[in-house]
Chain A
Amino acid sequence: MTTYPLNGRGAIAPQPTSDPHDAVLQMAESLRWQIGQGFHEHLMEDIYTNAAQLADRAVTRPGEKPRFDLDRTIDRIVTSRIWGFPMMIAMLAIVFWLTIIGANYPSQFLASILIDTMVPLLHQIAAAIGLPWWLSGLLIDGMYLATAWVVSVMLPPMAIFFPLFTLLEDFGYLPRVAFNLDNAFKKSGAHGKQALSMMMGFGCNAAGVIATRVIDSPRERLIAIITNNFALCNGRWPTQILIASLFVGALAPAYISGLVSALAVVGIAVLGVLLTFVVSWSLSRTVLRGELSTFSLELPPYRPPRVLQTIYTSLIDRTLYVLWRAVVFALPAGAVIWLIGNVTVQGVSIAEYMVNFLNPAGILFGLNGVILLAYVVAIPANEIVIPTILMLTVMMLGVTGDVGAGAGVMFELDEPLAVKSLLTAGGWTLLTAVNLMLFSLIHNPCSTTIYTIYKETGSKKWTAVSALLPLALGFTVTFFVAQIWRLAAMWLGS
Chain B
Amino acid sequence: MQTQIQHTPDGCVTCPVHNAGNLKKLGIDMSDWDYVVALAGNPNTGKSTVFNALTGLRQHTGNWPGKTVTRAEGGFSYADSRYKLVDLPGTYSLLSTSLDEEVARDFILFGQPDVTIIVLDATRLERNLNLALQVLEITDRAVACLNLMDEAKRHGLVVDDRRLARDLGIPVVPTAARYGRGLPELLQAVHEVATGQTVCKPYRIKSESSAVQKAINQLVQQLQAAFPGLPNARWVALRLLDGDQSIIRAVRNGELGHLNAPAPQQNNRIELEVLA
Contact = CB atoms under 8 A, between A and B. Distances in A.
B249 A306 contact: no
Contacts of B227: 20
Interface stretch (B18-26, B111-119, B200-208): B200-208
A175 B65 CA distance: 8
Given A15-B254, A24-B226, A199-B64, 6 more contacts: A27-B218, A27-B222, A31-B218, A50-B129, A196-B64, A303-B178
B28 interface: no
A170 B62 contact: yes
B271 interface: no
**Consensus secondary structure, chain A interface:** helix
A24 B240 contact: yes
Interface stretch (A33-41, A124-132, A371-379): A33-41
A295 B211 CA distance: 31
Interface string A163-179: 00000011110110010
A416 B105 CA distance: 59
Interface in A157-202: 169-172, 174-175, 178, 193, 196, 199
Contact of B66 (A8, A32, A34, A196): A196
Given A211-B66, A301-B151, A31 B219 contact: yes
Interface in B218-241: 218-219, 222-223, 225-227, 237-238, 240-241
A25 B242 contact: no
A15 B63 CA distance: 47
Contacts of A24: 219, 222-223, 226, 240, 251
Contact of A60 (B92, B158, B207): B158
Interface in B121-152: 123, 125-127, 129-130, 132-134, 151
Contact of A21 (B98, B127, B226): B226
A10 B126 contact: no
Contacts of A170: 62-63
A62 B129 contact: no
Contact of B240 (A4, A20, A25, A34): A25
Interface stretch (B6-14, B74-82, B160-168, B259-267): B160-168
With a 10 A CB-CB cut-off, give which of A9, A31, A32, A52 has the most chain B CB atoms.
A31
Interface string B241-273: 111000011011111000000000000000000
Interface in A256-310: 296-298, 300-301, 303, 306
Contacts of B63: 169-172, 174-175, 300, 303
